[in-house]
Amino acid sequence: MEELFEGLLNDHLGFVFWAAVAFVLLLILLAKFAWKPIMAAISERERSIEDALLKAEAAKEEMARLTNENEQLLKQARAERDLILNEARKIKDQIVGEAKAQANAEGARMIEQARIEINSQKAVALADVKNQVASLSVEIAEKLLRKQLADQQAQDAMVADLLKEVSVK
């Protein structure tokens, strides 16, 4: 059994030895040919990840800046809108006020024109009435005078009375 054990051990030690030699050779080959490209690839990957993170951070800052700018522009646009609306209200109020003033002035002018027209018509009507009254008065006076002046004595008395009333100045 010792032989068997020694055979196994020798076979096993030989296997371990050759495995260790192969491993060391593999390490040397890997270190010489693969380690640098793998490390370069890992380093490049780290750099690209860092660049991506930096770009993401820059993009985030840019987005924050743009958001801030947009908010400022919105505030400015709202302020301008409010200013424009206030100016429009003022202009509207001014136009309405001017229209009211113009309407009041036009109404007053029309009322004055109507008053003048009424006074004119009234004057014409009064003149017409006076003419008619005068005409009627003349007719009545004429009829009365004809009746009274039918005789000569009445005519002489009337002329004498009129001469007394009229005084020479």
Q: Strand, coil or helix: what is 151?
A: coil
Please check whether residue 151 is in contact with residue 161, taking contact to mean a CB–CB distance below 8 angstroms. Answer: no
pLDDT, tens digit, for every residue of 24-65? 998 888 888 887 888 888 999 999 999 999 999 999 999 999
Least confident range from 8-12, 62-66, 123-127, 164-168: namely 8-12
Overall number of domains in the chain: 1
Residue 15 has pLDDT above 60, yes or no: yes
Q: Which helix (H) or strand (E) holds 61?
A: helix 35-148
Residue in 109, 130, 127 with CA at minimum distance from that of residue 119:
127
pLDDT, tens digit, for every residue of 84-134? 999 999 999 999 999 899 989 999 999 999 899 999 988 888 888 888 887
Burial level of 95, CB count in 10 A (0-12/13-18/19+)? exposed
Residue 169 has pLDDT above 80, yes or no: no
Supply the DSSP symbol for 39. Answer: H
| CA–CA dist 98, 85 (Å, integer) | 19
Residue 9 has pLDDT above 60, yes or no: no
Q: Which domain does 135 fall in, by range?
A: 2-165
